[in-house]
A and B are shown apart, each in its own frame.
Chain A
Amino acid sequence: MTPSPPDAGDLSSSPLPPVGEDDHVRGDGPLVIEYADLECPYCAKANLLLAELPVRRVFRHFPIVSKHPRARILAHALEAAGMQGAFWAMHGSLLGDQGHLDDPHLWQRCEQLGIDVARFDADRRSDGVAERVERDFRSGVRAGVMTTPTLFVDGVAHPGVPDAGLIARLNR
């Protein structure tokens, strides 16, 4: 969809950016920074597991378009929903039903969540939203993310759906 602009900076190794003011953060407890693709079924499964845990959760975009053609479109849509205060509501909605991700379904979700559709449509196509998603993606590449989901706990990367050991560790 939007190719990485070659002038957007290097993609060489760089530590995971700390939680910033514009990060999407929810909950209290141990910090979990998650890189995820909204069309990825493993991310949907991880979401179900994480929703049950007492953690401070940070969501960052990692759309892999070659694998999931709608991934970047959905990331933009989620950011646009966030601009109307509905980030986590749309996040739960998208990951809760990955069988309905085309534009009419997105508009329907907006109506259900009380999101202004015209504003949503303008926002999700804005440069600011594209840059926001790209920034997340590039920070993930630089931190070595190679699969979705990848969870960072105490600065250590855990690729894939969190296993029982990690869940138990976070569930304290």
Chain B
Amino acid sequence: MIEAGASAPDFSLSNQDGDTVALQDLEGQYSVLVFFPAAFSPVCTDQLSVYEEVLPDLRARDAALYGISVDGAFALKAFQASVGTTIPLLSDFHPKGGMAKAYDVWVPERGVATRALVLIGPDLTVLWTHRPSSPLEIPGANLIFDALDAVAA
């Protein structure tokens, strides 16, 4: 997976509403990319639900979250409503997994991204990454705050 210190690879994806979100849009803020394997799997439902609860704290730290999966934008729209989250969800659908491959979180034998977090700084440099030992393991929201503390120190 991509390592801290690297320039964040460029991307341009559709969000759940069909609007384009590109790397340049992340300039000037801390951004947490939340790669997850698939919409509607119970595990990522919990992950995004808990992240949603701490969004006010993340905003206070000038940090924004983006969920990314290989699902189509319409599926992500339905998933967003189902989870009740306001976190924007980016569709890495075509070419499938293009962004996941660029960030080296692609699982070729399953055709999805693995579960992973990538923190990108205001200057679009990768500051921190986290990949759980198993996709069933959900990275705690506390880890994101640990990373923000570390880069602010």
Which residues on A are within 8 Å of B, measured CB to CB?
Answer: 3-7, 10-14, 64-67, 69, 137, 141-147, 159
The reply to whether A12 and B142 form a contact with Cβ atoms under 8 Å apart is yes
> Distance in Å from the Cβ of A157 to the closest Cβ of chain B?
9
Chain A residues lying within 8 Å of B54, measured Cβ to Cβ, are 4, 11, 141
Task: Answer yes or no: B141 CB below 8 A from chain A CBs.
Answer: yes
Q: Which of A3, A5, A141 contacts B140 (CB 8 A)?
A: A141
The reply to whether A6 and B142 form a contact with Cβ atoms under 8 Å apart is no
For B56, give the chain A residue with the smallest CB separation: A3
Which residues on B are within 8 Å of A, measured CB to CB?
Answer: 45-50, 52-54, 56-57, 59-60, 83-85, 138-143, 145-146, 148-149
Q: Which of B53, B138, B146 contacts A65 (CB 8 A)?
A: B53
Q: Supply 20 further A-B pairs (C-beta < 8 A) apart from A64-B49, A146-B138.
A: A6-B56, A6-B57, A11-B141, A12-B142, A12-B145, A12-B146, A13-B140, A13-B142, A64-B46, A64-B50, A66-B48, A66-B53, A66-B84, A69-B84, A141-B140, A141-B141, A145-B50, A146-B47, A146-B139, A147-B46
- In the complex, A159 Cα to B50 Cα: how many Å? 14
Chain A residues lying within 8 Å of B143, measured Cβ to Cβ, are 13, 144
* Number of CB contacts from chain A to chain B under 8 A: 73
Interface of A is mostly: loop
The reply to whether A67 and B83 form a contact with Cβ atoms under 8 Å apart is yes
The reply to whether A145 and B140 form a contact with Cβ atoms under 8 Å apart is yes
- In the complex, A4 Cα to B45 Cα: how many Å? 20
Chain A residues lying within 8 Å of B57, measured Cβ to Cβ, are 4, 6, 11
Chain A residues lying within 8 Å of B47, measured Cβ to Cβ, are 146
> Distance in Å from the Cβ of A163 to the closest Cβ of chain B?
14
> Distance in Å from the Cβ of B60 to the closest Cβ of chain A?
3
Chain B residues lying within 8 Å of A147, measured Cβ to Cβ, are 46, 50, 138
Q: Which of B46, B53, B56, B142 contacts A137 (CB 8 A)?
A: B53
> Distance in Å from the Cβ of A146 to the closest Cβ of chain B?
4
- In the complex, A137 Cα to B149 Cα: how many Å? 20
- In the complex, A64 Cα to B45 Cα: how many Å? 11
The reply to whether A142 and B142 form a contact with Cβ atoms under 8 Å apart is yes
- In the complex, A42 Cα to B143 Cα: how many Å? 25
